Each structure stands twice: as structure tokens, then as C-alpha cells.
Amino acid sequence: MRKIIHCDCDCFFAAVEMRDNPEYTDIPLAIGGRADRRGVIATCNYPARAYGVRSAMATAHALKLCPALTVIPGRMEKYRHVSAQIMAIYRDVSSCIEPLSLDEAYLDVTDSKEHQGSATRIAQMLRERVVNETGITISAGVAPNKFLAKIASDWNKPNGIFVITPSEVDRFVQALPVGKLFGVGRKTAEKLKSINVQTCGDLRELSIAQLTESFGRFGQRLYELSRGIDEREIITDRVRKSISVEHTFASDLLSLDECLSHIPALSDELLQRFGKLKQQRSMQGLFVKLKFNDFSQTTIEHRSLIHNEELWSALMSQGYQRVNKPVRLLGVGFRLKDQEDESLQQLDLWS
Ligand code: DCP
Ligand code: MG
């Protein structure tokens, strides 16, 4: 069983401004663009939230909800600097950390020896250190996986902590509204409501077949999430070294031709994912992975700056012939060129 902590700063940009300008602390404050320039709100403090002001709202609308709102421009340089300080505290506590944005990170403390390995006490210590060393309050969620830790950090916001122990997972998820599941937006929630599904408990009544029929591949994910299952690892690799797509087939592929016929779909999906990488990256090679029905597996690598169906086919043929057994899984991927500190460049997205 893993121990994951999700940390998220409270009203991050606004918190930095309140720290540096105490006169802002008790008045409704927002960071955002000007109303007369069709600006939007990046975030606002909790007094402003009491009026219904929210991130991404038009500033003009926010001012209608809260005429006394003070709206100030952001200082990205400053927020980046504070973010780096906070991430350094997380790194000091665990080497297994995955920053998600300027103000959010996952930590895996499964093997941590601090505080007798109590994730709850580690999270409390983190919260204290961050507020003492930077003046910013954070909320923390502690749970056996990423999905639940993220929900938990939001549970007692602001300046709070919420812990879901392994034995509480089932009961907690059972009552959880489906709208809390990652990937379930308003539309999906409405679709589910129309078939009387409002909580994860309701969702569990649906079979995998029903779920995939209604929601495609996301159906499988819904099946798992509604049971509190989320196996995603913390991605500590600050620089991604490869990107790949894998498919496990319901029935084994019995010939090389059958395997080759899946190349177009696999490589299309790979290209789509490659295009969505947060930064532009260059490829420096291809690889194909095959897993056989005896669970043996093989990977064939090829250094190349280009990719095409011919290359994929050649690699797949080579791999297939190495073992020559029915195939249960095929994967294709790109090796990526090294890039300097990717996480820092990620921060530039915010400017
Ligand atoms: N942000 C933004 N535009 C958005 C959402 C967020 O510019 N649409 C920025 C401002 C936030 C920061 O990112 O301060 C962090 O985003 P969060 O979603 O964590 O929001 P906050 O930290 O502001 O508030 P909360 O206390 O709800 O976490
Ligand atoms: Mg936040």
C-alpha cells in the first residue's frame, strides 16, 4: 500500500500578494486582468470567494458580484520564485515528488522514515514548514493513491489537511459525487445523472461493458475510480525520456500480419500524445514492445530521427520473430532527446 500526499497552496497568487501587502488580507482581493480590457480573474482570496468570485471568471462579472473587489495585476516572476522555494521544501522531505503546476505537487512518502513513517505527520510537518519559511498556507491530502490524495487536499481547504486511510477508502469513495472524479465534467455528470448515477456507489452498479458502451475507453477508468483504484505512479523523472502507447488485446493476436495491422492506430495515438507534450521535444529513436501469451516480452529499439509505417513494421517483425508466439500486448514509442531541466521550462508556461 502506498502513501501519497497531495499539496496545494491556498489561493496561491493572492496569498503571495497578501503576504507582501498585509492591507489586502481582510478585503476581497483578486489577481487578474482589467475589466475594461476584457480581463479575467486568475485567482482571488477567500473573502472574495464568499461573493462567488472564481478563477477564469471575467473581471467585469466578478466586479458585479463583488463591487468592493480590489483587482490587481499578477507578478509571475514573484510567484515562480515562491513556487521554487515551496518545491524545494517538498524535495527536502521526499525525493519522490511530482510537481503539477506552480502551486501543486504529489509526494510519495511510502518509504520515508521520518515521523516513524506516518504520512499524516509528514504532511503536517510540510504544512508547518511551508508557512513558516514562505508565509504561504497549503492544504494537504493524504491517501493510498494520487486520485484520492488530490480530492483529499481540497476537502478541508483552506489551510487544512484530510486523511483517507486504506480502511476508509471504500466508504469514502462510495459516497463521493461522480463530479469529483477526474475527467468527469458537467456534461458527463449530467449524462450519468440521467441514468440515476450521482455517487461512485451508484456508478459501481454499472458493469464494465455498460460503462465502455456509454463512455468508450473512459468507461474502464470510471470503473476503477469508482472503486478507489488508481495505480498511477508519481512521475519523478524531471525530464521525460520516452513516450509510448500500449494496447492489451482482449484475445491474442495469432500472426505477424495481425500485429502489423495495428500499427496505424497505435502510431496515430502516439503522435497525438507526442503533440500534446507540455514542451516541444525532439525524438531520437523508435521502439516497439511485444508481450506474448506466456508473458515473456521483447523491445526492439532503433535510433532514428524519422518515423514511418515501414520502420514500425520492420521493428515489429523483428520482435515477433524473436519469440514467435501469440501476442497479448503491442506498444510503440519514441525515445526523446535530452532536454535541460524540463520542470523549470514548464514554469514558463505561466508567463
Ligand atoms: N490560475 C490561473 N488561472 C486559472 C486557475 C489558476 O491563473 N484559471 C493560477 C492562479 C492560482 C494558481 O494558478 O493562484 C493555482 O491554482 P489553483 O487552482 O490551485 O487555485 P488557488 O491556489 O488560487 O486556490 P485554491 O485555494 O482553491 O487552491
Ligand atoms: Mg491552489
Q: Is the pLDDT of residue 240 over 80?
A: no
Mutation test residue for ligand 1: of 78, 103, 150, the one with most atoms within 8 Å of CB: 103
| Residue 91: half-sphere exposure toward Cβ, Cα within 13 Å | 10
Q: What is the pLDDT of residues 214-224, one digit of tens each?
A: 998 899 999 99
| 305 and 218 belong to one structural domain | no
Contact 93, 125 (CB under 8 A): yes
Q: Is the pLDDT of residue 170 over 70?
A: yes
- Our answer on whether the CB atom of 230 is closer than 6 Å to any ligand 1 atom is no
User: Residue 1 corresponds to which cell in the numbers above?
Assistant: 500500500
Q: Is the pLDDT of residue 40 over 70?
A: yes
Mutation test residue for ligand 1: of 10, 11, 19, 43, the one with most atoms within 8 Å of CB: 43
**In sequence order, which residues have a C-beta less than 8 Å from that of residue 253 and are 6 or more positions away?**
259, 262, 326, 327, 328, 330
Specify the CATH number for the domain of residue 274.
3.30.1490.100
User: Residue 29 corresponds to which cell in the numbers above?
Assistant: 482581493
- Our answer on whether the CB atom of 17 is closer than 6 Å to any ligand 1 atom is no
| 248 and 330 belong to one structural domain | yes
Q: What is the pLDDT of residues 47-91, one digit of tens each?
A: 999 999 999 999 999 999 999 999 999 999 999 999 999 999 998
Average pLDDT rounded to a whole number, residues 329-335 = 95
Select the more confidently predicted residue: 113 or 161. Answer: 161
pLDDT recorded at residue 235: 87
- Our answer on whether the CB atom of 291 is closer than 6 Å to any ligand 1 atom is no
143 has which bridge partners? Answer: 4
- Strand-by-strand arrangement of the 29-32 sheet: 41-44, 29-32, 70-72
pLDDT recorded at residue 305: 92
| 174 and 203 belong to one structural domain | yes
H helical segments located in 181-335: 186-194, 200-203, 208-215, 218-225, 256-260, 263-275, 309-323
Q: Is the pLDDT of residue 343 over 60?
A: no
**Of 25, 54, 75, which residue constitutes the final position of a domain?**
75
| 308 and 279 belong to one structural domain | yes
| 269 and 187 belong to one structural domain | no
pLDDT recorded at residue 238: 61
Number of other residues whose CB lies within 10 A of the CB of residue 243: 18
Distance 104 CA to ligand 2 centre (A): 7
Indicate the annotated binding residues for Mg(2+): 8, 103
pLDDT recorded at residue 280: 78
Distance 154 CA to ligand 1 centre (A): 12
Nearest 5°: CA angle at 206, between 203 and 212? 105
- Residue 345 confidence class, pLDDT cut points 50, 70, 90: very low
The domain tally of the chain equals 3
What is the average pLDDT score of the chain? 92
Atom 6 in ligand 1: residue holding the nearest Cα: 42
Residues annotated catalytic, as ranges: 104
In a domain, 116, yes or no: no
> CA 14 to CA 65: how far, in whole Å?
18
With 0-12 / 13-18 / 19 or more C-beta atoms within 10 angstroms meaning exposed / middle / buried, residue 140 is buried
pLDDT recorded at residue 242: 86
Number of other residues whose CB lies within 10 A of the CB of residue 327: 24
Q: How far is CA 340 from CA 84, 102, 183, 202, in A?
A: 17, 18, 31, 47
pLDDT recorded at residue 338: 75
Number of other residues whose CB lies within 10 A of the CB of residue 337: 13
Contact 82, 13 (CB under 8 A): no
Ligand nearest to the CA of 8: 2
Q: Is the pLDDT of residue 349 over 90?
A: no
- Our answer on whether the CB atom of 103 is closer than 6 Å to any ligand 1 atom is yes
99 has which bridge partners? Answer: 105
Select the more confidently predicted residue: 238 or 232. Answer: 232
pLDDT recorded at residue 351: 29
pLDDT recorded at residue 138: 98
Select the more confidently predicted residue: 311 or 347. Answer: 311
Specify the CATH number for the domain of residue 30.
3.40.1170.60
Q: What is the pLDDT of residues 272-297, one digit of tens each?
A: 989 888 677 889 999 999 999 987 88
Q: What share of the chain is helix, strand, coil (3-state, %, to 5)?
A: 45, 25, 35
Q: Mean pLDDT lowest for which of 271-285, 305-319, 323-337?
A: 271-285
- Residue 342 confidence class, pLDDT cut points 50, 70, 90: very low
Specify the CATH number for the domain of residue 210.
1.10.150.20
Regarding beta strands 138-143 and 327-336, do their DSSP bridges make them parallel or antiparallel, or are they unpaired?
A: unpaired
Look up the domain containing 182 and give its range: 170-225
pLDDT recorded at residue 237: 58
| 196 and 279 belong to one structural domain | no
Ligand nearest to the CA of 156: 1
In a domain, 95, yes or no: no
Taking the CA of residue 56 as reference, the ligand 1 atom at the shortest distance is: 8
Ligand nearest to the CA of 154: 1
In a domain, 203, yes or no: yes
**In sequence order, which residues have a C-beta less than 8 Å from that of residue 222 and are 6 or more positions away?**
181, 184, 203, 211, 215
| 304 and 247 belong to one structural domain | yes
**Of 22, 42, 75, which residue constitutes the final position of a domain?**
75
Contact 135, 19 (CB under 8 A): yes
> CA 331 to CA 333: how far, in whole Å?
7
In a domain, 104, yes or no: no
Distance 12 CA to ligand 1 centre (A): 6
- DSSP code per residue over 247-269: EEEEEEE-SHHHHHTTHHHHHHH
CA 272 from centre of chain: 18
Q: What is the pLDDT of residues 101-152, one digit of tens each?
A: 999 999 999 988 889 999 999 999 999 999 999 999 999 999 999 999 999 9
pLDDT recorded at residue 341: 42
- Residue 165 confidence class, pLDDT cut points 50, 70, 90: very high
Atom 1 in ligand 1: residue holding the nearest Cα: 42
